[in-house]
Amino acid sequence: MILVTGATGKVGGQVVARLLGAGATVRALARDPSSARLPEGAEVVRGDLADPGGLDAALDGVDSVFLVWPTLAADHAAPATIERITKHARRVVYLSARGTSDAPDQEPNSILGSHALVEGLIERSGAEWTFLRPGGFAANTLMWADQIRRTGVVRWVHGAATRTLIHERDIAAAGVSVLTGTGHAGARYVLTGPEALTQVEQVTAIGEAIGRPTRWEEIAPEIALRELLDQGWPPAAAEGIIDAHARMVASPETTTSVVAELTGAPATPFRRWAADHADDFR
Protein backbone atom coordinates (compact mmCIF):
# COMPACT_ATOMS: atom_id res chain seq x y z
CA MET A 1 0.00 0.00 0.00
CA ILE A 2 1.35 3.41 -1.04
CA LEU A 3 -0.14 6.56 0.46
CA VAL A 4 0.03 9.71 -1.66
CA THR A 5 -0.43 13.07 0.02
CA GLY A 6 -1.13 16.17 -2.01
CA ALA A 7 -3.00 13.73 -4.23
CA THR A 8 -5.28 16.37 -5.75
CA GLY A 9 -2.34 18.56 -6.80
CA LYS A 10 -0.46 18.72 -10.08
CA VAL A 11 2.28 16.27 -9.06
CA GLY A 12 0.40 14.11 -6.56
CA GLY A 13 -2.46 13.45 -8.95
CA GLN A 14 -0.09 12.20 -11.62
CA VAL A 15 1.73 10.04 -9.08
CA VAL A 16 -1.60 8.39 -8.19
CA ALA A 17 -2.42 7.72 -11.85
CA ARG A 18 1.04 6.37 -12.68
CA LEU A 19 1.14 4.11 -9.63
CA LEU A 20 -2.24 2.66 -10.53
CA GLY A 21 -0.99 2.12 -14.06
CA ALA A 22 1.96 0.22 -12.63
CA GLY A 23 -0.39 -2.05 -10.68
CA ALA A 24 0.28 -0.58 -7.23
CA THR A 25 -2.27 -0.38 -4.45
CA VAL A 26 -2.81 3.32 -3.85
CA ARG A 27 -4.43 5.34 -1.08
CA ALA A 28 -4.85 9.08 -1.59
CA LEU A 29 -5.08 11.59 1.24
CA ALA A 30 -7.54 14.46 0.78
CA ARG A 31 -8.99 17.03 3.13
CA ASP A 32 -12.30 16.70 1.27
CA PRO A 33 -12.64 13.27 -0.37
CA SER A 34 -16.01 14.20 -1.89
CA SER A 35 -14.38 16.82 -4.13
CA ALA A 36 -11.26 14.82 -5.01
CA ARG A 37 -11.24 13.94 -8.71
CA LEU A 38 -8.90 10.97 -8.80
CA PRO A 39 -8.65 7.92 -11.05
CA GLU A 40 -10.85 4.92 -10.38
CA GLY A 41 -8.94 2.41 -8.31
CA ALA A 42 -7.47 4.83 -5.80
CA GLU A 43 -8.79 4.60 -2.25
CA VAL A 44 -9.46 8.18 -1.14
CA VAL A 45 -9.35 8.87 2.60
CA ARG A 46 -9.91 11.99 4.62
CA GLY A 47 -6.91 13.54 6.36
CA ASP A 48 -4.94 16.72 6.91
CA LEU A 49 -1.18 16.77 7.45
CA ALA A 50 -1.64 19.70 9.81
CA ASP A 51 -3.71 17.40 12.07
CA PRO A 52 -1.47 14.42 12.89
CA GLY A 53 -3.97 12.96 15.32
CA GLY A 54 -6.39 12.31 12.46
CA LEU A 55 -4.00 10.38 10.22
CA ASP A 56 -4.03 6.90 11.75
CA ALA A 57 -6.83 5.57 9.54
CA ALA A 58 -5.08 6.85 6.41
CA LEU A 59 -1.79 5.28 7.50
CA ASP A 60 -3.16 1.89 8.52
CA GLY A 61 -1.43 -0.83 6.50
CA VAL A 62 0.71 1.65 4.54
CA ASP A 63 4.21 0.58 3.51
CA SER A 64 5.39 3.67 1.60
CA VAL A 65 4.40 7.34 1.47
CA PHE A 66 4.83 9.85 -1.33
CA LEU A 67 4.89 12.99 0.78
CA VAL A 68 3.88 16.37 -0.61
CA TRP A 69 4.07 18.79 2.30
CA PRO A 70 1.87 21.91 2.67
CA THR A 71 4.96 24.10 2.83
CA LEU A 72 4.98 26.64 5.68
CA ALA A 73 1.25 26.19 6.35
CA ALA A 74 1.66 22.96 8.35
CA ASP A 75 5.21 23.41 9.67
CA HIS A 76 3.90 23.81 13.22
CA ALA A 77 2.67 20.20 13.06
CA ALA A 78 5.68 18.77 11.23
CA PRO A 79 7.37 16.99 14.17
CA ALA A 80 4.21 15.18 15.25
CA THR A 81 3.07 14.44 11.69
CA ILE A 82 6.41 13.00 10.54
CA GLU A 83 6.58 10.92 13.71
CA ARG A 84 3.09 9.56 13.01
CA ILE A 85 3.89 8.81 9.35
CA THR A 86 7.17 7.04 10.05
CA LYS A 87 5.61 5.04 12.89
CA HIS A 88 3.46 3.33 10.26
CA ALA A 89 5.38 3.54 6.98
CA ARG A 90 8.69 1.86 6.23
CA ARG A 91 9.65 4.27 3.46
CA VAL A 92 9.06 7.96 2.66
CA VAL A 93 9.69 9.63 -0.69
CA TYR A 94 9.56 13.36 0.00
CA LEU A 95 8.95 16.04 -2.62
CA SER A 96 11.44 18.68 -1.48
CA ALA A 97 13.09 21.45 -3.50
CA ARG A 98 16.39 22.24 -5.14
CA GLY A 99 18.57 24.41 -2.93
CA THR A 100 17.42 22.81 0.30
CA SER A 101 20.31 22.60 2.71
CA ASP A 102 21.19 19.61 4.84
CA ALA A 103 21.44 22.08 7.75
CA PRO A 104 18.18 22.09 9.74
CA ASP A 105 18.35 25.84 10.48
CA GLN A 106 18.25 26.98 6.84
CA GLU A 107 16.32 30.24 6.44
CA PRO A 108 13.60 29.75 9.06
CA ASN A 109 10.08 30.66 7.86
CA SER A 110 11.15 30.41 4.21
CA ILE A 111 10.16 27.86 1.59
CA LEU A 112 13.58 26.21 1.61
CA GLY A 113 13.64 26.41 5.40
CA SER A 114 10.35 24.51 5.50
CA HIS A 115 11.76 21.78 3.27
CA ALA A 116 14.93 21.58 5.36
CA LEU A 117 12.81 21.16 8.49
CA VAL A 118 10.80 18.29 7.02
CA GLU A 119 13.86 16.61 5.47
CA GLY A 120 15.64 16.69 8.82
CA LEU A 121 12.67 15.17 10.65
CA ILE A 122 12.39 12.36 8.09
CA GLU A 123 16.12 11.66 8.10
CA ARG A 124 16.20 11.37 11.89
CA SER A 125 13.07 9.21 12.04
CA GLY A 126 14.81 5.95 11.17
CA ALA A 127 12.58 5.34 8.13
CA GLU A 128 14.03 4.60 4.71
CA TRP A 129 13.90 7.85 2.73
CA THR A 130 14.53 9.45 -0.63
CA PHE A 131 14.37 13.19 -1.26
CA LEU A 132 13.31 14.54 -4.65
CA ARG A 133 14.65 18.06 -5.07
CA PRO A 134 13.19 19.53 -8.25
CA GLY A 135 14.09 22.99 -9.43
CA GLY A 136 11.40 25.41 -10.48
CA PHE A 137 8.09 23.89 -11.53
CA ALA A 138 7.09 24.90 -15.04
CA ALA A 139 3.57 25.13 -13.59
CA ASN A 140 4.67 28.11 -11.50
CA THR A 141 4.45 30.21 -14.67
CA LEU A 142 0.68 29.84 -14.41
CA MET A 143 0.94 32.82 -12.06
CA TRP A 144 1.24 34.85 -15.28
CA ALA A 145 -1.87 33.35 -16.90
CA ASP A 146 -4.26 36.15 -16.00
CA GLN A 147 -1.90 38.84 -17.29
CA ILE A 148 -1.30 36.95 -20.54
CA ARG A 149 -5.01 36.35 -21.09
CA ARG A 150 -5.87 40.03 -20.50
CA THR A 151 -2.98 41.91 -22.09
CA GLY A 152 -0.31 39.57 -23.44
CA VAL A 153 2.18 41.38 -21.21
CA VAL A 154 3.86 39.87 -18.16
CA ARG A 155 4.90 42.47 -15.59
CA TRP A 156 7.33 40.84 -13.19
CA VAL A 157 10.83 41.04 -11.79
CA HIS A 158 14.28 39.79 -12.88
CA GLY A 159 13.45 38.81 -16.45
CA ALA A 160 17.03 37.61 -16.95
CA ALA A 161 16.70 35.04 -14.15
CA THR A 162 17.53 31.72 -15.79
CA ARG A 163 15.81 28.53 -14.67
CA THR A 164 15.68 24.86 -15.68
CA LEU A 165 11.92 24.50 -15.27
CA ILE A 166 10.54 20.97 -14.99
CA HIS A 167 7.26 19.51 -16.19
CA GLU A 168 5.13 18.16 -13.34
CA ARG A 169 4.74 14.85 -15.13
CA ASP A 170 8.53 14.37 -15.05
CA ILE A 171 8.54 14.89 -11.28
CA ALA A 172 5.74 12.36 -10.95
CA ALA A 173 7.49 9.86 -13.22
CA ALA A 174 10.68 10.15 -11.17
CA GLY A 175 8.72 9.70 -7.95
CA VAL A 176 6.98 6.58 -9.21
CA SER A 177 10.30 5.14 -10.39
CA VAL A 178 11.68 5.58 -6.88
CA LEU A 179 8.54 4.22 -5.19
CA THR A 180 8.41 1.10 -7.33
CA GLY A 181 12.16 0.50 -7.66
CA THR A 182 15.10 -0.30 -5.43
CA GLY A 183 18.44 1.25 -4.61
CA HIS A 184 17.17 4.75 -3.82
CA ALA A 185 17.45 4.78 -0.03
CA GLY A 186 19.28 7.84 1.25
CA ALA A 187 19.41 9.53 -2.16
CA ARG A 188 18.86 13.23 -2.74
CA TYR A 189 17.90 13.62 -6.39
CA VAL A 190 18.04 17.04 -8.05
CA LEU A 191 15.47 17.06 -10.85
CA THR A 192 15.45 19.63 -13.67
CA GLY A 193 14.12 20.25 -17.11
CA PRO A 194 16.48 19.73 -20.07
CA GLU A 195 17.26 23.40 -20.77
CA ALA A 196 17.89 26.73 -19.07
CA LEU A 197 15.62 29.60 -20.10
CA THR A 198 15.33 33.16 -18.86
CA GLN A 199 11.94 34.30 -17.67
CA VAL A 200 11.72 36.47 -20.79
CA GLU A 201 12.30 33.36 -22.93
CA GLN A 202 9.64 31.50 -20.96
CA VAL A 203 7.08 34.21 -21.74
CA THR A 204 8.04 34.07 -25.43
CA ALA A 205 7.58 30.29 -25.46
CA ILE A 206 4.12 30.65 -23.93
CA GLY A 207 3.22 33.15 -26.66
CA GLU A 208 4.36 30.68 -29.31
CA ALA A 209 2.23 27.96 -27.71
CA ILE A 210 -0.94 30.07 -27.71
CA GLY A 211 -0.30 31.65 -31.11
CA ARG A 212 -0.32 35.20 -29.78
CA PRO A 213 2.56 37.61 -29.19
CA THR A 214 3.59 38.03 -25.57
CA ARG A 215 6.18 40.31 -24.05
CA TRP A 216 7.94 41.00 -20.77
CA GLU A 217 7.77 44.23 -18.81
CA GLU A 218 10.33 44.53 -16.02
CA ILE A 219 9.18 45.90 -12.67
CA ALA A 220 11.19 46.92 -9.63
CA PRO A 221 11.87 44.33 -6.92
CA GLU A 222 10.07 46.39 -4.30
CA ILE A 223 6.91 46.44 -6.42
CA ALA A 224 7.07 42.68 -6.95
CA LEU A 225 7.57 42.16 -3.23
CA ARG A 226 4.54 44.31 -2.43
CA GLU A 227 2.41 42.28 -4.87
CA LEU A 228 3.44 39.00 -3.20
CA LEU A 229 2.67 40.41 0.24
CA ASP A 230 -0.73 41.62 -0.99
CA GLN A 231 -1.40 38.05 -2.16
CA GLY A 232 -0.83 36.82 1.39
CA TRP A 233 2.72 35.50 1.16
CA PRO A 234 4.63 35.56 4.47
CA PRO A 235 7.30 38.29 4.35
CA ALA A 236 10.27 35.89 4.65
CA ALA A 237 8.93 33.65 1.87
CA ALA A 238 8.15 36.60 -0.41
CA GLU A 239 11.57 38.13 0.10
CA GLY A 240 13.14 34.71 -0.52
CA ILE A 241 11.41 34.43 -3.90
CA ILE A 242 12.61 37.84 -5.06
CA ASP A 243 16.15 37.24 -3.79
CA ALA A 244 16.34 33.80 -5.37
CA HIS A 245 15.44 35.20 -8.79
CA ALA A 246 18.08 37.90 -8.38
CA ARG A 247 20.67 35.21 -7.73
CA MET A 248 19.56 33.33 -10.84
CA VAL A 249 20.42 36.37 -12.95
CA ALA A 250 24.05 36.20 -11.86
CA SER A 251 24.18 32.41 -11.45
CA PRO A 252 21.81 30.64 -13.85
CA GLU A 253 20.48 27.25 -12.82
CA THR A 254 22.19 24.24 -14.37
CA THR A 255 20.55 21.11 -15.72
CA THR A 256 20.91 17.55 -14.47
CA SER A 257 20.27 14.23 -16.22
CA VAL A 258 18.51 12.67 -13.22
CA VAL A 259 15.04 12.53 -14.79
CA ALA A 260 16.37 10.45 -17.69
CA GLU A 261 18.42 8.27 -15.35
CA LEU A 262 15.41 7.49 -13.14
CA THR A 263 12.71 7.18 -15.81
CA GLY A 264 14.55 6.13 -18.96
CA ALA A 265 13.06 9.10 -20.86
CA PRO A 266 14.51 12.59 -21.36
CA ALA A 267 13.08 15.49 -19.40
CA THR A 268 10.37 17.49 -21.16
CA PRO A 269 11.31 20.87 -22.70
CA PHE A 270 9.45 23.95 -21.42
CA ARG A 271 7.97 24.57 -24.87
CA ARG A 272 6.28 21.17 -24.66
CA TRP A 273 4.91 22.09 -21.23
CA ALA A 274 3.61 25.38 -22.62
CA ALA A 275 1.88 23.55 -25.46
CA ASP A 276 0.32 21.11 -22.99
CA HIS A 277 -1.04 24.03 -20.95
CA ALA A 278 -1.82 26.49 -23.76
CA ASP A 279 -5.52 26.62 -22.89
CA ASP A 280 -4.63 27.90 -19.41
CA PHE A 281 -3.15 31.03 -21.01
CA ARG A 282 -5.79 31.65 -23.69
Q: Say yes or no: domain 2-134 is CATH 3.40.50.720.
A: yes
Strands 197-198 and 2-4: unpaired
Give the type of residue at 123: E
Distance (Å, rounded) from C-alpha 274 to C-alpha 210? 8
Q: Which helix (H) or strand (E) holds 197?
A: strand 197-198
Give the type of residue at 155: R
Strands 91-95 and 188-191: unpaired
Q: What is the mean pLDDT of each run of 10 residues along the chain (282 residues)?
A: 94 95 94 86 93 93 96 91 95 95 70 91 95 95 96 96 96 97 96 97 97 95 94 87 92 96 97 96 94
- Which residues does 229 contact at the CB level (< 8 Å), separation at least 6? 235, 238
Contact, 129 vs 166, CB < 8 A? no
Locate the domains of the chain by residue range: 2-134
Other Cβ atoms less than 10 A from the Cβ of 251: the count is 10
> Which pLDDT score, from 0 to 100, does residue 225 have?
95
Contact, 146 vs 214, CB < 8 A? no
- pTM for the model stands at 0.92
